[in-house]
Amino acid sequence: MFLRRLLMFTLCCGCALAQAQIPASVDAELARAKVPRDAVALLVLDAQNPGATPRLSHRAGVPMQSASVIKLVTTFAALELLGPAYTWSTPVYVDGTVRDGVLQGNVYIQGQGDPKLVLERLWLLLHRLQGFGIQRIQGDIVLDRSAFAPDASDPGAFDGEPLRPYNASPDALLINYKSVLMGFTPDPQRRVAHVQIDPPLWGVQTQDTVPLIGGACGDYRGALKASLSDPARIRFAGGYPAECGEKVWPVAYADPATFAPRAVQGLWLSMGGQLSGAVRYGQVPAPLLAGAPTLELRSPPLAEIVRDINKYSNNVMAQQLFLTLGREGSGAVATLDSARAVVERWWQTRISATEPLELDKGSGLSRQERISARALGLLLQTAYRSPLMPELMASLPISGVDGTLKRAKVASTGRAHLKTGSLNGVSAIAGYVHSASGKRYVLVALANHPNAHAARAAFDALVDWAAQDTEGN
């Protein structure tokens, strides 16, 4: 009996000690959010000294869903394996002869995974093609996306929101994130708002204006009563509040498989180009691949791409990067399996051979991906001691300043660089905090609970607690 009571006393003391490690301000916010302590993992440790005792460690070894925080793994692995100056090429092959502005033959555009082939850069590619004296193509424009294995996934399978841009699937020839930008500009004199659809999509009916309506600019999207499910037609049955001013509403196109052909043909025609054939999918013929492309469009460098991915938590760009690692690492058509194999091999040799890592798409838009706070801490400590630390840290949102942390309610504005993550039932942050003592801390906070979204206030309190440290120990 005595030994049993002693054991229970020891265990309870251990529980009390673990609970006491959580700062009072953080504990209070967790209680307010109705998120129990056993649903969170918290870690604060010296960024530069991997052997130092953590300043705070609560359930740090438990693998948990981390949502978009897993992008830290993908982006740091890419910086190390590909290098910050790495760029993607989109080569263009002209097969035929040009005479009097007419190409007698086909144009082939070969996608190689560029994550940022947005409207402006597609326009530049086609403009450069016209610079070769091509105004009319007496043939087809063939889009080659064979560098990535076909993705047959349903864009609405994850959360039933297929028209959300974050659900766009990766593609070797990813054009404008497979999304349409719908712009609205009020014209008070005519009592309408002008509608602009970018990129212009061939074969899709749109309308030029919607009526202006009164009232405050609240849910303007709901007020428009948009009909977006028909791939051949974009319509608005409602009106646009005049007080909204100019707005841009991005939506994923209803038929992702036809988006690239419609976008290329629509933009080519809008630029004054003519096309006798069609824009279709296919592959560059082997004889053309044996020679140099007619032209190629280079992406921004990886360091810039990584900033876009982490600052704004861009899922499809992260998946493009993940698959690129698989393609570069295997020398073959990229698949999720090849990407996982490359990143897991890098993880075991560079970060830890013992800390588990469960990857799926490399973006966090998954219920299968899991990692512990301790494993994230090791990653961030390794990155801090790496020559590539400036590139990774510069890619993270700054608390209260920009990216996904622009509206963070922290007293320590500007003192933390943190990647955020959020799914239904999951909330997470991980990155670096610069304390008042001058010491840089690694900070990780994960919550897996139905009320996880409400735990963000507790995470803000944790950031402030770490930033207010004046002792540096």
Residue type, 197: I
Measure the CA–CA gap between 152 and 156, rounded to whole angstroms.
Answer: 12
- 143 and 271 part of one domain: yes
- 410 and 356 part of one domain: yes
Residue type, 210: V
Element (H, E) at 338: helix 336-346
Element (H, E) at 180: strand 179-187
- 272 and 124 part of one domain: yes
- 112 and 251 part of one domain: no
Asked if residue 15 is part of any domain, the answer here is no
Q: Is 331 helix (H, G, I), strand (E, B) or coil?
A: coil
Asked whether the beta carbons of 331 and 288 are under 8 A apart, the reply is no
Q: Lowest mean pLDDT: which of 146-155, 180-189, 404-413?
A: 146-155
User: Is 14's pLDDT higher than 50?
Assistant: no
Q: Lowest mean pLDDT: which of 105-114, 160-169, 323-332, 449-458?
A: 160-169
| pLDDT, tens digit, 9 for 90 and up, residues 343-398 | 999 999 999 999 999 999 999 999 999 999 999 999 999 999 999 999 999 999 99
Residue finishing a domain among 269, 298, 327: 298
Handedness of CA 76, 77, 82, 83 (dihedral sign): positive
Asked if residue 5 is part of any domain, the answer here is no
User: Is 5's pLDDT higher than 90?
Assistant: no
- 288 and 430 part of one domain: no
Element (H, E) at 309: helix 302-312
Asked if residue 18 is part of any domain, the answer here is no
- 80 and 95 part of one domain: no
Does a cis peptide bond (omega within 30 degrees of 0) precede residue 186? no
User: Is 13's pLDDT higher than 60?
Assistant: no
Asked whether the beta carbons of 242 and 186 are under 8 A apart, the reply is yes
Asked if residue 201 is part of any domain, the answer here is yes
Element (H, E) at 366: none
> Tokens in use for 292?
């140099």
Q: Read off the DSSP letter of residue 172.
A: T
Averaged pLDDT for residues 174-183: 96
CA separation (Å) from 457 to 39, 74, 324, 362, 420? 15, 27, 36, 27, 13
Q: Where are the alpha helices (DSSP H) in 179-272?
A: 220-224, 256-270
- 251 and 262 part of one domain: no
> Tokens in use for 133?
């004296």
Measure the CA–CA gap between 261 and 173, rounded to whole angstroms.
Answer: 10
Measure the CA–CA gap between 319 and 148, rounded to whole angstroms.
Answer: 11
Q: Name the pLDDT band for 409 (thresholds 50, 70, 90).
A: confident
Q: Is 184 helix (H, G, I), strand (E, B) or coil?
A: strand
CA separation (Å) from 127 to 130, 134, 197, 281? 5, 10, 20, 21
Asked if residue 344 is part of any domain, the answer here is yes
CATH number at residue 452: 3.40.710.10
Does a cis peptide bond (omega within 30 degrees of 0) precede residue 199? yes
Q: Of 467, 470, 379, nearest to 419 (Cα)?
A: 379
Residue type, 390: P
Averaged pLDDT for residues 209-222: 95
Residue type, 232: A
| pLDDT, tens digit, 9 for 90 and up, residues 311-339 | 999 999 999 999 999 999 998 999 999 99
CA separation (Å) from 188 to 118, 185, 191, 240? 31, 10, 5, 11
Asked whether the beta carbons of 436 and 428 are under 8 A apart, the reply is no
Measure the CA–CA gap between 51 and 377, rounded to whole angstroms.
Answer: 12
Asked if residue 223 is part of any domain, the answer here is yes
| pLDDT, tens digit, 9 for 90 and up, residues 27-57 | 999 999 999 999 999 999 999 998 889 999 9
Q: Of 452, 111, 58, nearest to 281 (Cα)?
A: 111
Asked if residue 3 is part of any domain, the answer here is no
For the full predicted model, state whether its pTM sits above 0.85: yes
Asked if residue 34 is part of any domain, the answer here is yes
CA separation (Å) from 359 to 64, 156, 347, 367, 374? 12, 21, 11, 10, 16
Asked whether the beta carbons of 73 and 359 are under 8 A apart, the reply is yes
Q: Name the pLDDT band for 60 (thresholds 50, 70, 90).
A: very high
Asked whether the beta carbons of 98 and 131 are under 8 A apart, the reply is no
CATH number at residue 286: 3.50.80.20
- 79 and 93 part of one domain: no
* Strands 56-58 and 89-99, sheet pairing: unpaired
Measure the CA–CA gap between 80 and 252, rounded to whole angstroms.
Answer: 32
- 306 and 435 part of one domain: yes
Q: Structural domain of residue 420, as residue ranges?
A: 23-85+302-467
| pLDDT, tens digit, 9 for 90 and up, residues 258-276 | 999 999 999 999 999 999 9
Measure the CA–CA gap between 303 and 212, rounded to whole angstroms.
Answer: 43
Place of tokens 């673990």: 18
> Tokens in use for 237?
């049955």
Residue 219 phi, psi (nearest 5): -85, 75
The full DSSP string for 67-98 is: GGGGHHHHHHHHHHHH-TT---EEEEEEEEEE
- 97 and 136 part of one domain: yes
- 311 and 337 part of one domain: yes
- 342 and 451 part of one domain: yes
The interaxial angle of helices 336-346 and 71-82, nearest 10 deg, is 80
| pLDDT, tens digit, 9 for 90 and up, residues 126-168 | 999 999 999 999 999 999 999 999 876 766 556 666 667 767 8
Element (H, E) at 21: helix 2-21
Measured distance between the N- and C-terminal CA atoms of the chain, rounded to whole angstroms: 41
- Total structural domains within the chain: 3
